[in-house]
């Protein structure tokens, strides 16, 4: 059965005159009924469907919401000439982000479909389409470059990937497609332009990031990207794929994550000593490690007590044990740590293929 489609954005309903917004809503539903079977698709529906606060500033939105609800309530079911209403939003249904849709509005919809952010394979397909749209092809290395980019764009959605590729196309101009420039565009897109670094600080940062990468590999995961090109507020960083696709972690996997977090500080301390190694550069790593420790004892009940609240001493002992484990791994593979530091300081950035080849040569 063919159906007429009426796509719109919720913001398109709003008018400057009194009653214009409500009239626009009624007109759309009237047209959809007239030419049924039909589909109404409303993007960014949170513009009218957000939770009502009762404040004077929200009166205009409440009028629009009431008009929309009235139209949905006014449907007479005709199985031969149905009108389907689809809506899309970035707002939550459970309120975890603090951005909530109005419950009365949500109840009008029979089904709620959660669409997660694209995974690596999804991003690969989306990037292929984006590049094709701009007429960009990397020749024999096309698949490898796009796959590498897909691995490095975790957390980005379709719109982000489209904007990224458009930005790359502008930077490329009439030049030959260049995978390195594509990756450079990604880093600039996410973190800003390059900062200048003192050579000594760059070397110490390379040691820090090499520590992260080495322990990551020793814990069973190969990093997808490693860099000491400073952008925004960071000196360098490591990216890695998730340990599993289930979204759940065992106790051992959580402790591996703790070690990975602590590895940068541990590497600096081992190579440069406590006076230089204990610096503020590892602050975000320490926060993440603390989170995993506390979560393992508290929310995940992986300690000795299933219900009782864990004690600070228990968390401290567990953190110290994982730090000692991290130090032991780095000491055992100190020569590899030094060689990876040299390579990273020279190349500035290492992709997954280069890292895998390096660790394979090191028999790790």
Looking at per-residue confidence, does 329 or 70 come out higher? 329
What are the structural domains of the chain? 4-107 (3.40.50.300), 120-191 (1.10.8), 199-361 (1.20.58.760)
Q: Please state the φ and ψ torsions of residue 247, each to the nearest 5 degrees.
A: 85, 0
Three-state SS for 341? helix
Mean pLDDT of the chain: 89
Residue 145 burial by CB count (10 A; 0-12/13-18/19+): exposed, middle or buried?
buried
Lowest mean per-residue pLDDT among 221-230, 233-242, 248-257, 341-350: 233-242
pLDDT for residue 233? 80
Distance from C-alpha of 21 to C-alpha of 10, rounded to nearest angstrom: 10
> Which tokens go with 139?
């020749």
pLDDT for residue 94? 63
pLDDT for residue 56? 47
Check 151, 209, 268, 270 and give the catalytic one.
Answer: 209
Q: How would residue 62 be classed by pLDDT, with cut points 50, 70 and 90? A: confident
Distance of CA 86 to the CA centre of its chain: 26
Average pLDDT over residues 214-230: 94
The DSSP output letter for 135 is: T
Beta-bridge partner residues of 86? 41
Lowest mean per-residue pLDDT among 198-202, 242-246, 338-342: 242-246
Looking at per-residue confidence, does 1 or 133 come out higher? 133
pLDDT for residue 234? 85
Q: Say which residues have a Cβ less than 8 Å from residue 335's Cβ, sequence separation at least 6.
A: none
Is residue 209 flagged as an active site residue? yes
Distance from C-alpha of 277 to C-alpha of 283, rounded to nearest angstrom: 12
Distance from C-alpha of 292 to C-alpha of 256, rounded to nearest angstrom: 10
Q: Regarding beta strands 83-87 and 223-227, do their DSSP bridges make them parallel or antiparallel, or are they unpaired?
A: unpaired
Looking at per-residue confidence, does 167 or 115 come out higher? 167
Average pLDDT over residues 284-292: 96
Decide if 87 contacts 45 (C-beta within 8 A): yes
Beta strands in 232-313, from DSSP E residues, in sequence order: 237-240
293-315 pLDDT, tens digit per residue, is 999 999 898 887 776 677 889 99
Beta strands in the chain, from DSSP E residues, in sequence order: 4-9, 38-43, 83-87, 223-227, 237-240, 349-351
In the block, tokens 């009166």 appear at 59
Distance from C-alpha of 235 to C-alpha of 196, rounded to nearest angstrom: 10
Quote the pTM value: 0.74
Looking at per-residue confidence, does 110 or 340 come out higher? 340
Distance from C-alpha of 284 to C-alpha of 119, rounded to nearest angstrom: 25
174-193 pLDDT, tens digit per residue, is 899 988 899 999 999 998 88
104-115 pLDDT, tens digit per residue, is 888 888 898 988
Q: Is the pLDDT of residue 244 over 60?
A: no
Closest CA to 146 of 170, 160, 130: 130
Q: Is the pLDDT of residue 57 over 60?
A: no
Distance from C-alpha of 189 to C-alpha of 304, rounded to nearest angstrom: 45
State what percent of residues in the chain have pLDDT above 90.
59
Q: Is the pLDDT of residue 129 over 50?
A: yes
């Amino acid at each position: 059965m063919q159906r007429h489609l009426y796509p719109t954005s919720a913001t398109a309903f709003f008018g400057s005159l009194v009653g214009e917004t409500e009239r626009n809503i009624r007109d759309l539903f009237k047209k959809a009924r007239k030419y049924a079977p039909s589909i109404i698709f409303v993007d960014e529906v949170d513009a009218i469907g957000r939770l009502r606060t009762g404040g004077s500033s929200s009166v205009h939105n409440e009028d629009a919401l009431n008009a929309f609800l009235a139209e949905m309530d006014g449907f007479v079911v005709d199985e031969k000439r149905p009108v389907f209403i689809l809506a899309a939003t970035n707002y939550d249904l459970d309120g975890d982000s603090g951005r909530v849709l109005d419950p009365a509005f949500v109840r009008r919809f029979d089904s709620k479909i959660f669409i997660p952010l694209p995974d690596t394979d999804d991003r690969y397909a989306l990037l292929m389409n984006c590049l094709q749209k701009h007429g960009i092809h990397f020749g024999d290395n096309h698949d490898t470059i796009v796959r590498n980019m897909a691995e490095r764009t975790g957390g980005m959605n379709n719109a982000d990937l489209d904007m990224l590729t458009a930005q790359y196309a502008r930077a490329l101009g009439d030049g030959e497609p260049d995978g390195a420039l594509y990756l450079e565009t990604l880093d600039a897109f996410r973190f800003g332009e390059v900062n200048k670094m003192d050579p000594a600080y760059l070397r110490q940062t390379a040691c820090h990031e090499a520590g992260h990468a080495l322990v990551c590999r020793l814990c069973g995961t190969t990093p997808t990207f490693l860099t000491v090109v400073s952008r925004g507020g960071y000196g360098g960083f490591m990216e890695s794929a998730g340990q599993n696709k289930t979204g759940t972690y065992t106790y051992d996997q959580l402790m591996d994550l703790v070690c990975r977090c602590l590895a940068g500080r541990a590497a600096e301390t081992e190579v440069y000593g406590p006076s230089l190694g204990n610096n503020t550069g590892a602050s975000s790593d320490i926060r993440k490690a603390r989170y995993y420790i506390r979560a393992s004892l508290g929310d995940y009940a992986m300690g000795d007590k299933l219900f009782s609240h864990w004690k600070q001493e228990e968390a401290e002992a567990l953190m110290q044990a994982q730090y000692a484990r991290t130090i032991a791994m780095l000491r055992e593979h100190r020569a590899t740590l030094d060689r990876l530091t040299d390579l990273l300081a020279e190349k500035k950035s290492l992709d997954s293929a280069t890292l895998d080849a390096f660790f394979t040569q090191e028999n790790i």
